Amino acid sequence: MPLRILNLAYALVIFFLWAPSVGVAQQTQPQVPQTATIIGTVLDVTGGTVPSAIVVLQGASEHRTIHTSEDGFFKFDGVQPGVPLRVEVSAVELKSWTSKEIIAQAGQFVVLTDITLAMAPVETSVTAVTQEEVATEQVKMQEKQRVLGVVPNFYVTYERAPAPLSPKLKFQLAMKTLTDPVTLTSFGVTAGVYQAAGYPSWGQGGEAYGKRLGAISAGGYTKILIGDAVLPSLLHQDPRYFYQGTGTTKSRLQHALETPFITRGDNGHREINFSNILGDLASGAIANAYYPSQDRGAGLVARSVLVGIASRMALGVVQEFVLHKWTSRPSDQP
């Protein structure tokens, strides 16, 4: 009897010690999660990861944005289960990607695969530019050309394919040259040289110098306006010197020496340089009408033409072989 009572007491002690532990175990059983998780990795078409891509979780009551990590990975925790959702991915210079509709279940890990961002198409815009617009920009560069940064050198083009000049641009270039202080100064210096030589026969003194200055200015203006603007516009010829810069010395020299006789038409073809020849004749005729009677005559006109031809031949050689080294011009020209 005492042994039975002792066994019963021992059984009661074991029961009371085991019962609380069962309750605790029941209380600490893990709860089933009430939300879902969405994860994925963003790749490009080469299979490389895309860091810092923008990932948007979008739904009726969801709108969250995160960025992918350095390895292209992203993760949305606490996703509401049972509702339609979509994931949108975008990155700079890549096409966007949108998932199919996702309805996650409570406790589910949704792994999005095949998130590959293709290259975005390159948009190219083409702006149509007329020949006159191109020529206008080229003339603007020519008007900045000066020998040693001082003497204007506007009537030479270094372009490989210069656009033809419109009549407006031909007159613009002529007026830019005629109104340049260096051009006006050259008229005064030339009048001084003629004064010292006593030619034409106006004697000496201030009045004589004024007549010489007027005659030289009239001839210079006539030559440039008629020979480099009016006639080139009427005859569709280009008054500029076209720098060759390549080829043999012989070919470059020939190109320079033929300048008074051959020019380029507005159509790009080589033509007889009627503009310069007739411009010299017009300048000689002005001088013939203006000079004293003893200095007039057909010889004066012929001399004016020959001097004009010789001076342009010499200038062509200097332009081709010397002045291009000393002429300041915009850096985008050769």
- The tens digit of pLDDT for each residue in 5-30 reads 444 444 444 444 444 444 444 444 55
Residue 21: the pLDDT is 46
Residue 330: the pLDDT is 67
Residue 31: the pLDDT is 58
Residue 123: the pLDDT is 67
What letters, b where the CB count within 10 A reaches 16 and e where it falls short, cover 293-313?
A: eebeeeebbeebbeebbeebb
Query: What's this model's pTM, rounded to 2 decimal places?
Result: 0.61
Residue 331: the pLDDT is 55
Residue 332: the pLDDT is 45
Residue 140: the pLDDT is 94
- The tens digit of pLDDT for each residue in 119-178 reads 888 766 667 788 899 999 999 999 999 999 999 999 999 998 899 999 999 999 999 999
Low-confidence spans in the chain with pLDDT less than 70: 1-33, 123-126, 330-334
Q: In 10 A of CB 232, how many CB atoms? A: 28
Residue 10: the pLDDT is 45
Domain 36-117 has CATH 2.60.40.10: yes
> In the chain, which segments carry CATH 2.60.40.10?
36-117
* Count of residues making up the chain: 334
Rounded to 5 degrees, φ, ψ at 26 are -65, -35
Residue 1: the pLDDT is 46
